Structure 1
Amino acid sequence: MRLRKADEQRRRWENVGLAWLIALGIVMVAFGFWHVTPFGHRNLLMSDMGTQYIPLLTALQHALRYQTFHLFSFSLSLGSNVVPTVAYYLLSPFNIIVLAFSAANVPIAASVIIMVKIATIAATMAWFLQDHFLTSSRVTIVFALAFSLSGFVAVDFFDLMWLDALIVLPLVVAGIDRLVRAQRLGMFYGWLLVSMVTNYYLGYMMCLFSILYFGYTLFNQWGRLG
Structure 2
Amino acid sequence: MTKIFYLGGHFVQFRSQLKKQHILLISFLLPVIIMGGYFAYRSMAPFGQNSLLTVDLGQQYIDFFSYFRRTLLHHPSEFIYSFSKGLGGEMWGTNAYYLWSPLNLILIFFPAAHLSSGVLALTLLKYGLSGLSFAWLLTKTKLQTGIRILAFSTAYALNGWIVANQLNLLWLDAMIILPLVIWGLHQVIFARKFSCYICWLAVMMIDNYYMAWMICIFTILFFIWQLPIINNWQERMRAFSRYIVSSLIATGISCIVLLPTI
What range describes the TM-score normalised by the shorter chain of this pair?
A: over 0.9
1:17 and 1:222 mapped to 2: Cα distance? 38
Query: Is contact 1:49-1:159 (8 Å) kept?
Result: yes
SS at match of 1:183: coil
Residue 17 (structure 1) aligns with: 25
* TM, length-normalised to structure 1: 0.93
Identify the match of residue 44 of structure 1 among 42, 48, 52.
52
After TM superposition, the score normalised by the length of structure 2 is 0.80
1:33 Cα offset (Å): 1.0
Matches within 5 A, 1:31-180: 31-70=39-78, 71-133=80-142, 136-180=145-189
Q: Any conservation in 2 of the 1:19–1:145 contact (CA below 8 Å)?
A: yes
How many percent identity over aligned positions? 30
Q: CA deviation at 1:3?
A: 4.4
- The number of equivalent residue pairs is 224
Question: What's the counterpart of residue 201 of structure 1?
Answer: 210
1:8 matched to which residue of 2?
16
1:153, 1:24 → 2: CA distance? 13
Q: How far did 1:76 drift?
A: 2.9
Q: Distance in 2 between matches of 1:199 and 1:78?
A: 26
Which has more radius of gyration? 2
* RMSD (Å), alpha carbons: 1.8
Change (3 A) 1:137 1:37: same
Take 1:76 and 1:62, find their aligned partners in 2: how far apart are those partners?
15
Shift, 1:2, TM fit: 4.9
Q: How far is 1:97 from its partner?
A: 0.9
Change (3 A) 1:158 1:210: same
Contact persistence 1:8–1:136 (CA under 8 A): no
In the TM superposition, residue 11 of structure 1 has moved relative to its aligned partner by 1.7
C-alpha offsets along residues 20-47 of structure 1, whole Å, 9 cap, x if unaligned? 1111110110101111112111111212
Q: Post-superposition shift, 1:60?
A: 1.0
Superposed CA offset, 1:39-98 (max 9, x none): 111111212111221111111111111243222234334432111111111111111111
Q: Which runs of 5+ in 2 are unaligned?
A: 1-8, 236-262
CA separation in 2, counterparts of 1:214 and 1:26?
34
For the 8 Å contact 1:125–1:170, the answer to whether it is kept is yes
